[in-house]
């Protein structure tokens, strides 16, 4: 049985030049994860949302905001995870000067927020898990792809 999967989420990209709709694709093959998107005709890829760079050159995405929603299941109930990734301006080393990730889980009529996390999706999701009622489970497939 193969452990390969691909998920696609739509969202928005914003920077000083304006906003545009984007699609984020996450492919997982075994232990390897690759996030891809196209912004203004340029392909970006990386091992995580916070580490996107120009395909082939690795030049980091910076000075922008990415927003997207992920449909998911929480304790077998439909839920939505809203994601907001803010990438600061480019630092002298070429990477964003800051990476801020904020997740909000909309589930059961409530919103659970991660607060600002430094780009680590698992850490941000862990903060949300600790707020959920005892016995509540988040679909594990999400962790594999995000």
Three-state SS at 40: coil
Q: What is the pLDDT of residue 73?
A: 92
pLDDT confidence of residue 36: 96
The predicted pLDDT at position 86 comes to 96
Q: What is the pLDDT of residues 40-51, one digit of tens each?
A: 999 999 998 889
What is this structure's pTM? 0.87
Tokens matching residue 143: 């962790």
pLDDT value, residue 144: 45
Of 9, 115, 141, 139, which Cα lies nearest the Cα of 68?
A: 9
- Quickly tell me which residue has 């969202």 as its tokens: 11
Report the pLDDT averaged over residues 128-140: 89
Mean pLDDT on 14-32:
93
Whether the per-residue pLDDT at 69 is higher than 90: the answer is: yes
Quote the pLDDT of residue 65.
97
β-pairing, 18-29 vs 32-39, is antiparallel
Per-residue pLDDT for 142 more than 60?
no
pLDDT band at 1 (very low <50, low <70, confident <90, very high): very low
Q: Cβ of 107: how many Cβ atoms within 10 Å?
A: 22
Q: Let me know: does 8 contact 35? Beta carbons within 8 Å.
A: no
């Amino acid at each position: 049985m193969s452990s390969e999967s691909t998920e696609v989420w739509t969202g928005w990209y914003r920077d000083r030049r304006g906003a545009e709709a984007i699609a984020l694709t996450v492919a997982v093959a075994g232990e390897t994860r690759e996030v891809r998107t196209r912004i203004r005709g340029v392909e970006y890829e990386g091992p995580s949302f916070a580490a996107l760079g120009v395909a082939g050159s690795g030049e980091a995405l910076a000075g922008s905001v990415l927003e997207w929603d992920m449909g998911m299941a929480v304790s077998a109930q439909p839920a939505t995870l809203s994601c907001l990734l803010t990438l600061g301006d480019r630092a002298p080393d070429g990477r964003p000067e800051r990476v801020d990730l904020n997740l909000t889980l909309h589930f059961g009529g409530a919103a659970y927020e991660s607060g600002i996390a430094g780009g680590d999706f698992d850490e941000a999701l862990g903060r949300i898990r600790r707020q959920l009622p005892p016995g509540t489970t988040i679909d594990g497939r999400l962790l594999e792809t995000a």
